[in-house]
Amino acid sequence: MLSISNLHVGVDETPILSGIDLEVGPGEVHAIMGPNGSGKSTLAGALAGREGYETTEGSVTYDGEDLLAMAPEERAARGLFLAFQYPVEIPGVSNIYLLKSAVNAVRKHRGEEELDAMDLVSFIRDKMRLTGMDDQLLYRSVNEDFSGGEKKRNEMLQMAVLEPRLAILDETDSGLDIDALRTVADAVNQLRDGNRSFILITHYQRLLDYVVPDQVHVLYDGKIAKSGDANLPKELERTGYAWLTGSGEAEPESAAQEQ
Amino acid sequence: MAETTEPVSHYQQLYHDAESTLPGAGIDWVAERRRAAMARFAALGFPGARNEEWKYTSLRPIEKRDFALPKRAGHGLGAPDLAPYLFDEPATHRLVFVDGAFDADLSRIGQLPEGVTVQPLSTALEAGMESLAGHLGRYADPEGTPFVALNTALMSDGVFLHVPAGSTLEWPVHLLFVASEAIDGIGVHYRNVFVAGEGARITAIESFLGLGEATYWTNAVTEASAAQGAEIEVYKLQEEAPSAYHLATFEGYQGADSSVTHHNISLDGRLVRNDVNTALDAEGAYVSLNGLYLGDVRQHVDNHTRIEHLQPGCVSRELYKGILDGRSRGVFNGKVVVQPQAQQTDSDQQNRNLLLSRGAEVDPKPELEIFADDVSATHGATVGQLDEDALFFLRSRGLSQHQARNLLIFGFANEIIEAVKIEPIRARLEDRLVQRLPQSETEED
Ligand SMILES: Nc1ncnc2c1ncn2[C@@H]1O[C@H](COP(=O)(O)OP(=O)(O)O)[C@@H](O)[C@H]1O
Ligand SMILES: [Mg+2]
């Protein structure tokens, strides 16, 4: 469903991604790990259509179409979702209003009938159960004065109502306590089905204990330095990333399998 | 005395010609106040560029036009023309003024509680009402600014609203000042006097509405006095014609534990200047000033506010927000003065501006003058553009570029709109704002 081929992305003439290859099939869960600054968020942003990212080489196809040619809203309408590493605050716009607008914008884009206010609210409330979010957060401004955990749950709620086909979670698990982490994992697991795919960007093995990935990739310096199965994170936990910088420590062997 | 300039002599002539026919001409105190105010205006003249208070706002276009006084001619407007601008829920005491004069047919003052006065100012002046004499010009002093002086000399109508001690006016008073198609070349000088006695409550809506394309000048003055424990809430909604000049002064005067809330919503007009001032002259008084100003094309909108803390333990809150597009220009000047005896003053002022185009400009200027030492006075002024991260976030949730933009603009304004407690006004404001938002769906698609 997603095919990234030799992707090079730069910001302000500075190369950040330098040749990413990644295939994500329907229903697959891929984890992307890697040290800070390795380009994980840049990859996520490039896939979601953030402005200012220059593709200098390579391509991305989504359902066989050129993803990079699409506006961000078109990507959303076609089922691509990004949970932001740093959720954005929108003062003066209530959460419920955002959710309703998003659902209907996407429905409209897909040529589906827009839902009326009543149906929207019950639809959204249904999805809220999945995230364990407090009801009153619906009526507050988007992410304004939300705790870190509430912001992340809110991203999960947006994901749930938009019912994406490919969801990219950028460090949604960072900074969460174990309960909130469980909620994120549950949200993913409940949405997981034979067709819906996930890219989980994470620093920690914790999340991957709950959401078992099909493949794990280590991103370093704008490239995928290693790929493996669900055992790779455990190895990384042990070895750290020092082997990437060539400082002599052993590279994780047991789980590694070259693609 | 300054040399009499041409525009000044024009208004002297107007006054001279109209003196005997202006409302209250036969009442000595009215005639005397008009005469003194005219002399004062002649002495002050139009403020020039060197006047600090008018530094960013040139009045040349008004000076050049030599606006005439309203003619007593039919305006041809009927109830259906105004229907979209009226509020029936909640019920209001409605006074409609067209092109400078009260229109009884379009108005519906309704039942009033015992002792309460809600009268067209023209009627109150003609009657030389004692209760008016004690207040008119007391808070909005003609000695002060040229436009209060000119207004006092030439005031044609407005409202005298008096709620004595212990009374409450349950419904809002809705003042609708309409400029018809026929108002081209006219200057209207509306004067409102709101007096809330001890513990009394007043809610007033002042809508300024331009229905045509005429070029005219509104020079409005509202003075409001809140006695001990009284509450006054004013919603000023300015929707003049696109080529109109709108100058408006609000002067509040507050007693102990009184509360004044002023909402200043400025949506239209070619050149707009608001002066919103209040004096907190007894302990425990509270004032809240909310403002929202929109500018587009070549509009110029200037808001000057002055909060005077004269006595200890008063609280002032101020939030003004501007949204400027096209080649419009905004000015915000917020003065807070804390006099030496005004200890334990608690004051906060915020001015936030959103620039939507490269051609738009704003000059925010907070001015704090603090002469007491035990004071909490905070202020902030910001000028920014739409947040790119927020735009991307909304688009990543499926909203189109213009939907995302409009939602952010709306969110920015919403803080002021949410402070509007009267639901139909809020709804109308939301509506107007949505209409004013740049790039409608059809335009961009
Ligand atoms: N908008 C930007 N402008 C300039 N440099 C950027 C920008 N975004 C990311 N970078 C740089 O690109 C590199 C990768 O960043 P990022 O993708 O955020 O890494 P990660 O998410 O893996 O921590 C870092 O060196 C970062 O400083
Ligand atoms: Mg990151």
B347-374 confidence digits (pLDDT tens): 999 999 999 999 999 999 999 999 999 9
| B345 within domain boundaries | no
User: Each residue of B133-191: pLDDT tens digit?
Assistant: 999 999 999 888 999 999 999 999 999 999 999 888 999 999 999 999 999 999 999 99
Is residue A255 scored above 70 in pLDDT? no
B110, B244: one domain: yes
Look at A98 and B397 and tell me if their CB atoms are within 8 Å.
yes
pLDDT < 70 stretches in chain B: 1-4, 438-445
Q: Cβ–Cβ of B399/A73 closer than 8 Å?
A: yes
Pocket of ligand 1 (CB under 6 A): A 11-12, 16, 34, 36-42, 52
| Tokens coding A74 | 């078109």
User: Could you tell me the pLDDT band of residue A256, with boundaries at 50, 70 and 90?
Assistant: very low
Residues in chain B closer than 8 A to A109 (CB atoms): 398
pLDDT of residue B445: 33
Decide: B305 and B333 in contact? Cβ < 8 Å: yes
The A-side interface with B (CB below 8 A) comprises: 48-51, 71-73, 75-77, 81-82, 84, 87-93, 98, 101-103, 105-106, 109, 141, 158, 162
- Number of Cβ within 10 Å of residue B49's Cβ equals 11
Q: Give residue B266's domain range.
A: 5-282
Answer yes or no: do B276 and B406 share one domain: no
Question: Which residues of A fall within a CB distance of 8 Å from B393?
Answer: 84, 87-88, 90
pLDDT reported for residue A109: 87
Interface contact flag, A101 B400, Cβ < 8 Å? no
**pTM assigned to the model:** 0.90
Whole-angstrom Cα distance, residue B271 to residue B292?
15
What's the pLDDT at B114?
A: 92
User: How many independent structural domains does chain B possess?
Assistant: 2
Q: What per-residue confidence (pLDDT) applies to B161?
A: 98
- Whole-complex ipTM: 0.94
Helix axes A117-131, A148-162, angle to 10 degrees: 130
Span A8-15, average pLDDT: 94
Of residues B387, B396, B407, nearest to A76 (C-beta): B396
Which residues in chain B are closer than 8 Å to A49, comparing Cβ atoms?
Answer: 392, 395-396
CB–CB of B173/B206 below 8 Å? no
Could you tell me the distance, in angstroms and rounded to a whole number, from the CA of residue A70 to the centre of ligand 1?
22
How does DSSP classify residue B1?
-
CB contact under 8 A, A88 and B389: yes
In a domain, B129, yes or no: yes
The answer to the question of residue B152 being in a domain is yes
User: What's the mean pLDDT in A146-157?
Assistant: 93
**Residue A216 bridge partners (DSSP):** A31, A228
In SS3 terms, chain A reads as CEEEEEEEEEECCEEEEEEEEEEECCCCEEEEECCCCCCHHHHHHHHHCCCCCEEEEEEEEECCEEHHHCCHHHHHHCCEEEECCCCCCEEEEEHHHHHHHHHHHHHHHCCCCCCCHHHHHHHHHHHHHHHCCCHHHHHCEECCCCCHHHHHHHHHHHHHHHCCCEEEEECCCCCCCHHHHHHHHHHHHHHCCCCCEEEEECCCHHHHHHCCCCEEEEEECCEEEEEECCCHHHHHHHHCCHHHHCCCCCCCCCCECCC
Beta partners for B387?
none
- Within 10 angstroms of residue B32's Cβ, the number of other Cβ atoms is 10
> Per residue in A50-74, pLDDT tens?
999 999 999 999 999 999 999 999 9
What pLDDT, on a 0 to 100 scale, did the predictor assign at position B4?
Answer: 60
Interface test with B, best of A142, A145, A166 (most B CBs within 10 A): A142
Is residue B253, in this structure, part of any structural domain at all?
Answer: yes
Residues around ion ligand 2, judged by CB within 5 A, are: A 40-41, 85
Q: Pick the residue from chain B with its C-alpha nearest to A48.
A: B396
pLDDT at B437: 74
Residue B296 covered by a domain: no
Tokens 């789980």, residue located: A255
Last residue of a domain, one of B282, B304, B325: B282
* Residue A252 pLDDT > 60: yes
Same domain, B261 and B409: no
Is residue B260 in a domain?
yes
| Subunit contact A49:B411, Cβ cutoff 8 A | no
Pick the atom of ligand 1 nearest to A16's CA. 12
Final residue before a domain boundary, out of B282, B305, B322: B282
Q: Which among B390, B395, B403 has CB closest to A90?
A: B390
Residue B175 falls inside a structural domain: yes
Mean pLDDT of chain A: 91
Instruction: Return the pLDDT at B220.
Output: 98
Ordered domains of chain A (ranges, CATH): 2-87+164-256 (3.40.50.300)
Nearest beta carbon to residue B388 from set A51, A76, A81: A51
Among the partner-chain residues B398, B407, B415, the one whose CB lies closest to the CB of A76 is B398
H helix intervals, B155-264: none
Instruction: Give yes or no for residue A42 having a pLDDT over 90.
Output: yes
* pLDDT score of B87: 79
Q: How far apart are CA B327 and CA B332, in angstroms?
A: 17
Structure confidence at residue B438 (pLDDT): 65
For strand B101-102 and strand B245-254, is the pairing parallel, antiparallel, or unpaired? unpaired
Would you say residue A254 has pLDDT above 80? no
* Residue length of chain A: 259
Which chain A residue shows the shortest CA-CA distance from B412?
A92
- Considering the domain boundaries, does residue B261 fall inside one? yes
Task: Quote the minimal CA–CA distance from A222 to chain B in Å.
Answer: 23
**Domain-ending residue, one of B266, B282, B298:** B282
